[in-house]
Structures are given as C-alpha cells and as structure tokens.
A and B are shown apart, each in its own frame.
Chain A
Amino acid sequence: DTEVTQTPKHLVMGMTNKKSLKCEQHMGHRAMYWYKQKAKKPPELMFVYSYEKLSINESVPSRFSPECPNSSLLNLHLHALQPEDSALYLCASSQQGASNEKLFFGSGTQLSVL
C-alpha cells in the first residue's frame, strides 16, 4: 500500500466553524507533512511531524492546529478560518524525513471558507 489517504476531498466551512482534515498512511513512514497550495502557486510547507513530534511549524497562524495521534495518522484542526485560507491542503509522508527521500502525497482537501 503506497497510498496517502486524505479526507474529506472537499470542505466548505464558515468562519465560525470548527472542522478537521484527516490524513492516513500505512507505509510505516515516520515523517508526515501538511502543505498548503493556493491557485497557480507552488505548495508551501506548513508543518512537519517527525516520529510523532512536531519538528517544523512554518509560522502558521494558530487557527491551524496540527495533531499526530500515532505514526499513521495526521490531523489538521481548523478554527475561525478566514476566506484567504481557502486553498488545497495536501498531506505527504516520507520514510524518516531525510532530504533524499521521496515524498508520497495525498490527493488533497479542497477547502473553501465562506
């Protein structure tokens, strides 16, 4: 199984809502990532978890809260988002997080904030 599964595929939420994005992989990878991609721009790194510990937070606003309950799961909790947070959110994983390891991506959650 070389898949990274993200749910939901699409999400529409209001600015007062609380929602969560989920990501799952069963490849035994110990590094997991959240990327944000706005239209016509490259993916931008948000968070990196290494061995279930948050190792990189790229100055992301606190309305985004990541969680890694175990080595297979990665969540992104969303609260009080702004319309400019509308984007494609991609999850990825790699074996241990070394720079020469391929990333395996999910197909993303398309988020619209109204």
Chain B
Amino acid sequence: ILNVEQSPQSLHVQEGDSTNFTCSFPSSNFYALHWYRWETAKSPEALFVMTLNGDEKKKGRISATLNTKEGYSYLYIKGSQPEDSATYLCAPPGAGSYQLTFGKGTKLSVIP
C-alpha cells in the first residue's frame, strides 16, 4: 500500500481567490498520478492523469504539475468559484498494477 499524503486537509477561500494544494507520494516505481474532484452527492470525476516528470495539465481554471523525482504534484485553481467546492483526491497507481491508492483528499469550500 502506497503512502499518499495530501495537504491541507481542508481549505476555505473567498470567491475569486486562487488556491493550490499538494499531493505527496513515493517517488520510486512511479507509473501515473491521478487527480479526481468529488462533489457532495455526486460521483468522483477524473480531472487529470499525469505520467511524465515536469508534466503540466490544464482544464479551464484548474491546472496541475507533476514532479516524479521528488514525489509531489500541485493542483492550482485560479479565481475560485462556489462550484469548485468539492473534495480533491489524488491517487498514484500501485506498483505494476492499475489499483489506485487514494489520498485522504483536500476539502475545498469557496465562500461566495
């Protein structure tokens, strides 16, 4: 079982603020790093799957970077909106397999 840490655990920001959070994972035997957004009473939704060191992905106001050598990924949200309120989960797949080990997530609340 991989040790996956996400920080902070929770975050309250004002509408319009930009924010970022961190996912740390073991740097050895890296395969991929997944980010998911999970809104209350909905299904977890895939944001990004990142595989290459230095990779940067963007989807609207959300972007993510990946450092496989030091074992971390950052998720950035520019100009937070109330609809961004959700729990953001990261997950590296286990060694040689497609099973994901999820971190505990960062719960983001955007205050209008």
Q: Which residues of A contact B (CB under 8 A)?
A: 4, 31, 40-45, 48, 56, 58, 90, 94, 97-108
Contact = CB atoms under 8 A, between A and B. Distances in A.
Contacts, number: 55
Contacts of A90: 43-44
Interface string B90-112: 00010001111011110000000
Q: Which 8 A-B pairs have the closest CB atoms?
A: A42-B102, A102-B46, A99-B93, A99-B31, A105-B43, A97-B98, A105-B44, A100-B32
**Interface centre among B32, B99, B105, by most A CB within 10 Å?**
B99
A105 B43 CA distance: 6
Contact of A99 (B32, B41, B42): B32
Contact of A45 (B34, B41, B46, B100): B100
Secondary structure call for the A interface: loop
B86 interface: no
